[in-house]
Chains A and B, each alone.
Chain A
Amino acid sequence: MKDKIRIASGQGFWGDLIDAPYTQVTAGQVDYLVMDYLAEVTMSILQKQKNKNPKLGYARDIPELMDRILPICKEKNIKVITNGGGVNPEACAEAVIDVARKHKISNLKIAVVLGDNILDRIDNVITNGCQLNNMETGEPVSIVKDKLLSANVYFGAMPIVEALKMGADIVITGRTTDTGLTLAPMIYEFGWSKNDYNLLSAGTVAGHILECGGQASGGNLLADWRSVPDIENIGFPIAEAYPDGNIIITKHQSLGGKVTIETVSEQLVYEIGDPKNYITPDCVADFTSIELEEVGKDRIRVYGVKGNPETEFYKVSCSYSSGYSAVGTLTYSWPDALSKAKQADQILRKRLEYLNLSFDEIRTEFVGYNSCHGPLATKLDEDRINEVMLRIAVRGSDYYSIERFGKEIAPLILTGPPSVTGFAGGRPKPADVVAYWPALIPKKLVEPKVEIITL
């Protein structure tokens, strides 16, 4: 058994710094590279792509990225774990195989984790007594069944552990928890029992710290934000894990950013609910048990983590089509910038009213004034406001109304208040609104499947 392993975060979301995974595998020693690509809305986009072309439906950054890092990972024996397989992990694996062939790499094992996608068997799930009730509203999924775009079960670390046991060098999954990607190599390397909930929770906490990439190593830092060194060259976080569940969060020393009590604490409280019950498919971690200690420069020890048994349910993330939206913006300058923007908003709203259009919501915000903090924004004298961007957004089920709204923005330049600019992007186009439907499913109704492709 190894006495420690180093797990590097490579991506915090699909759209993150493209060079980060390359930097993580070249700027110092690591054993694993983990990459989270899937936000809730991502699955519906990928499902649409797959519907159009059965060879798509995964994060298409991956083949390009693997072209750069696969020879390096192979040479250094760095294993790659990612949920970027989206709704088509097999096609993603095939694309990676093409990359491997191009580099004449052999002896490569790629694993795919399947079984999370239940879109085609919703009826079967309902027949089995699971109504997939919305966790927020309690309504059964049947009311949006005809509009469903995607439905995926969140698997945890265990299918990845199985893949690693089968000798996988690369593991490509569909919907897997962000924390599972980081926890899995610890279970595999250290032989942790699936019933040792304190150890599983320690690995889960490490996964939570890594899952947003640079957000744990100096990015988006509220505590003394100016103090982050060389942030343009930020090193993503690395979890140095030990068999006893001690974790040290660190980063490559040659890179920028920093790892401190503050950077780790801010990430720990990010997007959590009840800290005593951080629920994953693997365990229920207790975030109130986490202890942090600075043990060196850019080295924060995470220890003392406690946890409880996993629940009998997996979380399911469904998405469904819910009408259209559009956003228009115009910028007004001093003098009277805010008054002008407010008048333009009133003119626009009256014109929309005359047109008898139908919207579920019209929302106006003044960027540069109150779009972030709303009524909490400091009131300013008109004289002190240099410019304001009027941002007006609409949402509704009637496509025509949303499209017509888009045609009413630009005319305000010649038929509204003066000193206005910033209409370079053309008419706002209606965008599909994808709503999210969180639910639970008994674990016994779903079976993860691991397949290995050997090259």
Chain B
Amino acid sequence: MKKIKLIDIAHGRSGDKGDAANVGIIAYDDKGYQLIEKYLTAEKVKEHFQGICLGKVERFELPNIRALNFLLHNTLGGGGTVSLKHDAQGKTLAAALLRLELEIEE
């Protein structure tokens, strides 16, 4: 096993869908997509966002643009207009997910 930083193989963007945040992660190349497709599971993302995402995490695949889309439910403190969070719309959560290190098979 070896560790790779997600930020080295992918970029992304995040935003709000009501009280859920959407985090889209895009691999820079096909090899990167194979890695995130295999290792960046909904469970892994839920564990990473412990204390931030209070609901379930849904994962959707967009292999056509080498991307995964995650919906993080119950995450934004009530949603854009009600939330007291500084980042009420989850704009910085894509960067927060890029902090993740993936353990991959060599």
Is the pair A372, B52 in contact by a Cβ cutoff of 8 Å? no
- Chain A binding surface SS class: mixed
Residues of A contacting B78 in the complex (Cβ-Cβ under 8 angstroms): 435
| C-alpha gap A119/B92 in the complex (Å) | 35
Is the pair A270, B24 in contact by a Cβ cutoff of 8 Å? yes
| C-alpha gap A442/B69 in the complex (Å) | 29
Is the pair B65, A268 in contact by a Cβ cutoff of 8 Å? yes
Residues of A contacting B17 in the complex (Cβ-Cβ under 8 angstroms): 271, 273
A272 on interface, CB distance cutoff 8 Å: yes
A292 on interface, CB distance cutoff 8 Å: yes
A118 on interface, CB distance cutoff 8 Å: no
Is the pair B99, A376 in contact by a Cβ cutoff of 8 Å? yes
Residues of A contacting B16 in the complex (Cβ-Cβ under 8 angstroms): 271
In A254-277, the 8 Å CB interface with B consists of 262, 265-276
A426 on interface, CB distance cutoff 8 Å: no
Is the pair A266, B52 in contact by a Cβ cutoff of 8 Å? no
Give the one of B24, B63, B71, B96 with max A CB within 10 A.
B24
Is the pair B22, A40 in contact by a Cβ cutoff of 8 Å? no
Residues of A contacting B11 in the complex (Cβ-Cβ under 8 angstroms): 221-223, 262, 266
| C-alpha gap A158/B17 in the complex (Å) | 25
Chain A residue nearest in CB terms to B77: A363
A373 on interface, CB distance cutoff 8 Å: yes
| C-alpha gap A422/B80 in the complex (Å) | 26
Residues of B contacting A367 in the complex (Cβ-Cβ under 8 angstroms): 86
Is the pair A269, B67 in contact by a Cβ cutoff of 8 Å? yes
A322 on interface, CB distance cutoff 8 Å: yes
Is the pair A222, B96 in contact by a Cβ cutoff of 8 Å? no
Binary contact readout A432-444 vs B (1 if CB under 8 angstroms, 0 otherwise): 0111101000000
Tell me, rounded to whole Å, the shortest Cβ–Cβ distance linking B18 to chain A.
6
| C-alpha gap A393/B83 in the complex (Å) | 10
In B54-106, the 8 Å CB interface with A consists of 60-67, 69, 71, 77-82, 84-87, 91-92, 94-96, 98-99
| C-alpha gap A276/B99 in the complex (Å) | 28
Chain B interface (Cβ within 8 Å of chain A)?
A: 11-19, 22, 24-26, 28, 48-52, 60-67, 69, 71, 77-82, 84-87, 91-92, 94-96, 98-99
Ranked nearest first, the 7 interchain pairs of A and B with the lowest CB-CB distance are A269-B24, A393-B84, A223-B11, A371-B86, A271-B15, A372-B92, A363-B84
